A and B are shown apart, each in its own frame.
Chain A
């Protein structure tokens, strides 16, 4: 399967714990995006990378959130000191900007539940 993959698919954690999610984009894609989706809402943009550079971060991305893409391939999203309000689906997408199409391909998401 050469699509976008995310790990884990589900995570249940207690409030105050740290969690880390991983996203593996389509291999030749140079752009990688993180989105968050709460129940009944559309996804919201968090941040995106071009290769290893983090080019933009949303105001939604508090200091407890950090994202990395160290070698321009996979990316991690870490949430420190989780809060119940962090419970959501975290979606990753990738695109190939070089061809000008910017079409984004989405992974299956990681569903986080903070108890």
Chain B
């Protein structure tokens, strides 16, 4: 079983829809990251969370440490939001070692106009 599980793996939605991507993890963590990866490979960090909720523009990330679960929400989605969204955790218990990240497989999001 992967230490970081994301759902859904693929998501296609219409422009304007509210999007939710989920991440569950099985190890104790010191931080959780949400990352965005566009075709061609470049990765951009969206959020780093250790508790609660963060908001940046139309993006909202929440984490529940007790339930070992995080969600990434996109409000008023737009075609330019189309990308792969990756959840990653920092945990000394995981394959990423004490400071490297352990990643989920990503959620491939397509927003259609």
Chain A residues engaging chain B, CB cutoff 8 angstroms: 31, 33, 35, 37, 40-45, 47-48, 55-56, 58-59, 89, 91, 93, 97, 101-106, 108-109, 111
Residues of chain B contacted by A102 (CB below 8 angstroms): 30-31, 48, 90, 99
Within 8 A of A (CB), among B90-113: 90, 95-106
Binary interface profile of B, 17-58, with partner A (CB < 8 Å = 1, else 0)? 000000000000011010100001111110010000000000
Which residue, of B31, B35, B103, B104, has the highest number of chain A Cβ atoms within 10 A?
A: B103
Chain B residues engaging chain A, CB cutoff 8 angstroms: 4, 30-31, 33, 35, 40-45, 48, 86, 88, 90, 95-106
- Report yes or no: B105 in contact with A58, Cβ–Cβ below 8 A: no
Residues of chain B contacted by A105 (CB below 8 angstroms): 45
Contact check: which of A56, A108, A111 meets B98 at CB < 8 Å?
A56
- Report yes or no: A42 in contact with B88, Cβ–Cβ below 8 A: yes
- Report yes or no: B101 in contact with A91, Cβ–Cβ below 8 A: no
Residues of chain B contacted by A58 (CB below 8 angstroms): 95-97, 100
Contact check: which of B41, B44, B102 meets A111 at CB < 8 Å?
B41
- Report yes or no: A43 in contact with B103, Cβ–Cβ below 8 A: yes
18 contacts between A and B (CB under 8 A): A33-B100, A35-B100, A35-B101, A44-B103, A45-B97, A48-B99, A56-B99, A58-B96, A58-B97, A91-B41, A93-B43, A102-B31, A104-B33, A104-B101, A106-B35, A106-B42, A108-B40, A109-B43
